[in-house]
Structure 1
Amino acid sequence: MSKPFSWKRFNEIPIVGILRKLPASKLDKVVKLYQQSGLTTLEITMNTDGADEMIRQISEAFPNLNIGAGTVCNESDLQKALNAGASFVVTPILDERIIHACNEANVPIFPGAFTPSEIYKAWSAGAQMVKLFPAGLLGPKYIKDVLAPLDQIKLIPVGGVDLQNFTDFLDAGASGLGLGSQLFLKDAIQNNEWKTLEKHFMAFVDKYRMYIQKKT
């Protein structure tokens, strides 16, 4: 059974960390550092070996985190994710059947879209946010241009977002950010360099907090 998605926690720092193909032996340590740094929302991609068990494990071990499922491309993966307790769902593509199924289950869904027509279609079908993917191809200006006529839509860019540019995406109107390899440093994880990884997580948190302070 999924625990409710906390928008309050998400809005504290609207970054979704994307864990893809992480070895199960590293999971607990990485997630513990992630939570300690102040990050609040995390997805496990369904093309990770044992993804559903990972979702179940960390949902139980870290109840104060939003734990979701990413790379959900079909209804079979969706059911596995929901059964494991995913509190939100992210897709790389637009599939209205998955959007409707998530709405019926009262689980937030962030479907992938790229063009203005796809983005509007995903939002109209019931998405709570629309994952703009791949965002790095056109950058923050594309988000600003899309949101000029579609300002009611919440966009979360994924792909090409990093420590240097993530506030540019927020300035352009993004409601959140999705980061995978730019957040979870592969070499640091492989070599158990946990201080390096924690420092990297904190760099995102500190930059976001400074960004918010300047805005207020």
Structure 2
Amino acid sequence: MTKTEVVRLIEETGIVAIVRGTRPEEIVKIAEALYAGGIRAIEVTCNTAGYLGMIEALAAVMKGKMAVGAGTVITPSAAQAVIDAGAEFILAPNLDAEVIKVANQYGKIAVPGVTTPTEMVQAYKLGAEIVKLFPAGALGPRYLKEVLGPLNHMKFMPVGGINAENIPAFLKAGAFAFGIGSELVDKQAIAQQNYHLITEKARQFIQLFKELSEGRFF
């Protein structure tokens, strides 16, 4: 997918599923369950054992169906490795100019983690098309609303503590999309091989986003 296609896919579905701490043999089943529920963007974090193999597997099996990304990409070498493995976008909890530079070099989307207005503006100047507001749950929707006052040209993806209860307030504040981990990728369900539950959770989040975003694209 091109950068434009990935951004539009994230915008239209509104949810990026964050996979952390799962086993390699589970990743394709997780992705398929998420896809069945309407999720079209998935990231595997770099602090997950075997993450490169998981990204390679997803890039092969879900090609053209889901945008495959990597999370917790905090070094340029990690950025290079995940892009080589097939990642179409990379996310981080922090802002690192060199990581963004690697993504730009290969025509991939970098979503750096930002908290302060200074970081937000710097990320935008470095070419980040989407920024990750982190930790969003601690900062709250009001914080997002206030920074969007002067920075309404930027696309914010709240991550960290996002759930069905606070998505409405974040959307009202101006959120572009959301990164959701354990609230969506339920580890207990995975352990029990109850992938239907993950599909149902995905469907609920997608439905919530679409209902609250009605008219957003027209």
Say whether the fold is shared (TM-score over 0.5).
yes
- Look up the match of 2:67: 66
Instruction: Report the CA distance between 1:214 and its aligned residue.
Output: 7.0
Opposite residue 210 of structure 2, the aligned amino acid is R
* 2:171 aligned residue: 170
**Structure 2 gap ranges (5+):** none
- For structure 1, list consecutive stretches of 5 or more residues without a partner in the other structure: none
Tell me what 2:212 maps to: 211
Note the C-alpha offset of 1:195. Answer: 2.3
Query: Counterparts in 2 of 1:1-216, with a 5 A limit?
Result: 3-5=1-3, 6=5, 7-63=7-63, 64-213=65-214
> How far did 1:75 drift?
1.4
Relative contact order (alpha carbons < 8 A, sep ≥ 6): 1 or 2 greater? Answer: 2
Residue 213 of structure 1: SS of its match in structure 2?
A: coil
Percent identity, aligned pairs only, is 34
Superposition deviation, residue 4 in structure 1: 3.0
Counterpart-to-counterpart distance in 2, 1:173 and 1:46? 29
Whether the 8 Å CA contact 2:164–2:205 is kept in 1: the answer is yes
SS at match of 2:70: strand
Q: What secondary structure is seen at the aligned counterpart in 2 of 1:31?
A: helix
Question: How many residues in Structure 1 have an aligned counterpart in Structure 2?
Answer: 214
Post-superposition offset of 1:185? 1.1
Q: Is the 8 A contact 2:24 2:51 kept in 1?
A: no
Structure 2 length as normaliser, TM-score?
A: 0.93
SS at match of 2:213: helix
Superposition RMSD in Å = 1.5
1:209 and 1:38 map into 2 onto residues whose CA distance is 11
49-58 or 192-201, which deviates more: 192-201
Deviations 1:151-205 (A, max 9, x none): 1111111001101211221111111111111111121111112222221111111
Give the 3-state SS of the residue equivalent to 2:214 in structure 1.
helix
